[in-house]
Amino acid sequence: MTMIRRLDAAEAEARLAELAAVLRDAVEHGASVNFMAGLTAEDAAGFWRGQLPGLAAGEKHLLVAEAGGRIVGTVMLMFAPQPNAPHRAEVGKMLVHSSQRRQGLGRRLLGAAETAARAAGRSLLMLDTESGSAGDHLYRACGWTAFGQVPGHSHKPDGPLAETTFFYKVLDQG
Count CB-CB contacts under 10 A for residue 138: 17
Q: Can you name the residues that pair with 92 across neighbouring β-strands?
A: 76
Task: Identify whether the C-beta of residue 97 lies closer than 8 Å to the C-beta of residue 67.
Answer: no
CA 41 – CA 24 distance, rounded (Å): 7
**Residue 129 belongs to domain with CATH number:** 3.40.630.30
- pLDDT digit string, tens, across residues 27-61: 999 998 999 999 999 999 999 999 999 999 999 99
Q: Can you name the residues that pair with 90 across neighbouring β-strands?
A: 78, 126
Q: What is the pTM for the complete model shown?
A: 0.95
DSSP string for residues in 5-22: EEE-HHHHHHTHHHHHHH
Confidence of residue 174 (pLDDT cuts 50, 70, 90): low
Task: Give pLDDT, residue 1.
Answer: 83
- pLDDT digit string, tens, across residues 90-140: 999 999 999 999 899 999 999 999 999 999 999 999 999 999 999 999 999
Number of domains in the chain: 1
Domain that holds residue 68: 3-170
DSSP string for residues in 125-139: EEEEEETTSHHHHHH
Q: Which one-letter DSSP state was computed for residue 112? A: H
Task: Identify whether the C-beta of residue 160 lies closer than 8 Å to the C-beta of residue 125.
Answer: no
